[in-house]
Amino acid sequence: MNTNVQLGKQYFKIVQNIIRKKEKQEAGRKKEQQRKQTTCEDLVSLPSNIDRHFSNASKMESIDIDSAHGLREEIKALANEIQTLKDIKENEHLIKTNIAGMVEKPLANHESQRKFEIRCPRGTRDYGPQDMTLRRQVLDVVTECFKRHGGVTIDTPVFELRDILMGKYGEEGGKLVYDLSDQGGELLSLRYDLTVPFARYLAMNKTIMYIKRYHIGKVYRRDNPSRGRFREFYQCDFDIAGSYDLMIPEAELLRIISEILNALDVGTFEIKVNHKLLLDGMFAVCDVPKKHYKAVYSSIDKLDKLPWEDIKNELCNEKYIHCDVVSKLETFVRLREHNNSLTNLDLLNWFEKDETTSQNNDIQKAVSEMKQLLEYCELFGILSTITIEPSLARGLDYYTGAIFEVTLKDCSEKIQIENGDSDKETRSINIGSVAGGGRYDNLVSMFLPKHKVPCVGISLGIERLFTIMKEKLKMEDVRSKDTQVLVASAQKKLVKERMKICRLLWDNNIKAEMALKANPKMLDQMQYCEEHKIPLAIIVGERELEEGILKLRDVPSRIEQDIPRDNLVEELNRRLKHLQ
């Protein structure tokens, strides 16, 4: 329902409630006078309520501020009209009829004056045929890899009960959840990711104790649209649920993401790895108060986007963490930055032997597990892509063990980015992370306390990969159609023959189409082939009909060959096999 109509009806109900309230008051001249005075006060308060509602409404993207102001003034005028009708003790039915007419008029005027702009909502975009073809190619690579590792797919609703999502995404992430209007008493939100819905699914299906699941679907975040950032976008998740030996599932997930990025040929990438227990231990030895852990996580999580001085300022001046504590913390989170030559093992050994960290059980457990992970990654042939990074702090509340993030190293180049609005910009940027994940052993038990299912997963941000792939490829070289053969005619009155040939090809699972005109021009048909990169064309004419043959044209080379009509399917299959 239109927002303005809803507002109008809301104010109409307010007025009706005022009328009912006044009619219940006692008669009598003194009380009647008091009733009128109270009515005036209530109706005076109505415009102030309108001011408040329209102040909120004017912030909404769907309402123009000037238009909202005009509608507000007209609704205010209605209050005075209604008061006049009450003062002269008009018939109740007549009052309600007049109110309905008066409410409809300003709303109708407002609707007629409102400028309508045809566009996508901010942070979203349309995908044309070529975009969708490239997207499908990328998703096919991802899906094939997921299946190769034994994954099975599920699907969940795009919206969840609000309580399911709240408290799972950290200080910053929780602010980005899209809430929906009340639906019959249920408070709902659009899903922020695919992980929490998966955990809810496991909690509801208690018989599932082991599963390798993949899920490709849209998620929604109330973020500010910017370069490569959208409010609606696809994620591709692969999760392993069940009690397995530690770090074996983690190593396979990192192998999966490596296979996908290598198959897409997006360039050199780096898999940063850290551990939630290492972060907890670092915070403990630095004397960070436990109640502030989440706040510090969310600040540290911004280190890939902001310089340390900004993070330090936020921690000291906005989150009121003591500056001495922040200085201690800097030693650990900038350890890799200040010691670039440290190998992964050198860094872990430093944590293992340093006098301030060697006595912390969380740190020692994390170091032991990450050493095991490095060993498994070497066996899977991906060790060269792994970097242990103590500053990595993915800001989601549900992680309990190893965490990882994948960044592309070759993407600080000039590329054109669509920002989710209508404009585009060309500049040198860092594309940021393209995947991330970690272990979340307690998420399922948040929904069902006695049902614990250990899980670890990784999520691939397909939109950023799609942006890179789109720039790497010339879009004019991307085929938007899968059509293999165009059935064409050289003369008029041959539409029925073309239809017969199309039927034959479709019956034999050959992707074919024809011009949907009775007498198309030959030039137009061949141009259509070239425009859509259809490799072969079958041409039928009067001579071909008489001789029982068809002309087979190789579109790129324009070489033509006569073939017997009875051998058409066999010849096409032979040609198409060589084209694959």
The residues facing 241 across adjacent strands are 211, 455
Mean pLDDT over residues 223-239, rounded? 85
**Mean pLDDT lowest for which of 58-67, 261-270, 365-374, 541-550?**
58-67
- Label residue 494 by pLDDT band (50, 70, 90): very high
Mean pLDDT over residues 103-108, rounded? 59
Predicted confidence at residue 459, as pLDDT, reads 95
pLDDT tens string 365-385? 999 999 999 999 999 999 999
Average pLDDT score, the chain: 82
Q: Cα angle at 185 between 182 and 190, to 5 degrees?
A: 45
Is the per-residue pLDDT at 94 higher than 90? no
Mean pLDDT over residues 497-513, rounded? 96
pLDDT tens string 37-91? 444 444 444 444 444 444 444 444 444 444 555 666 666 677 677 666 666 665 6
Mean pLDDT over residues 496-518, rounded? 95
Give CA–CA dist 56/61, Å, rounded: 11
- Label residue 415 by pLDDT band (50, 70, 90): very low
Q: At what angle do helices 361-379 and 248-264 cross, to 10 degrees?
A: 50
Structure tokens at 483: 């059509």
Mean pLDDT over residues 290-304, rounded? 85
Q: Which domains are present in the chain?
A: 129-412+429-475 (3.30.930.10), 485-579 (3.40.50.800)
Mean pLDDT over residues 517-545, rounded? 94
Place of tokens 């922040």: 326
Structure tokens at 541: 């004419």
**Beta-carbon count within 10 A of 68 CB:** 22
Structure tokens at 267: 């360039």
Residue 429 is which amino acid? I
